[in-house]
Amino acid sequence: MDELEYIRLKKMREMMARSNSPTNVSGTPTTISDGMFDDFVKQNPLVVVDCWAEWCGPCRMIAPVIEQLAKDFAGKVAFGKLNVDQNPATAARFRIISIPTLLIMKNGALVDTIVSAVPRDYIVSRLKPFL
């Protein structure tokens, strides 16, 4: 294999790895799991994780707000959705006992938590100091 072919192969692998990475600042919430939680948080400078469950009425009420915020803050904030019933390890790690719970993480560290279905403006006001 010549040097040029080696470089092309290396670049191709890097591009494929990036396309499969959990990074998301695209404007849509990413479904995240226990297994990818840490990578998602580390690869995005500012993250909001919506911890929810299917049976939770308030979680369903706040879901459209989270989707709209993901669009409004695209390129600035990555939004993730973590189903606590399917991902108990992360729920336990952050001591989530009420849902919905929004975890605001900056540079891999938890910087704020919002519990309950709250208005959009309240979420924005808690998020803005970290932008």
**Catalytic residue of the set 32, 59, 70, 96:** 59
Angle ∠(62,67,63) on CA atoms, nearest 5: 20
**Cis bond before residue 100 (omega within 30° of 0):** yes
pLDDT reported for residue 2: 74
Give me the domains of the chain, ranges plus CATH numbers. 25-130 (3.40.30.10)
Q: Is 51 annotated in the active site?
A: no
**Catalytic residue of the set 48, 56, 65, 103:** 56
pLDDT in tens, 69-127: 999 999 999 999 999 999 999 999 999 999 999 999 999 999 999 999 999 999 999 99
pLDDT at 20 over 50: no
pTM of structure:
0.80
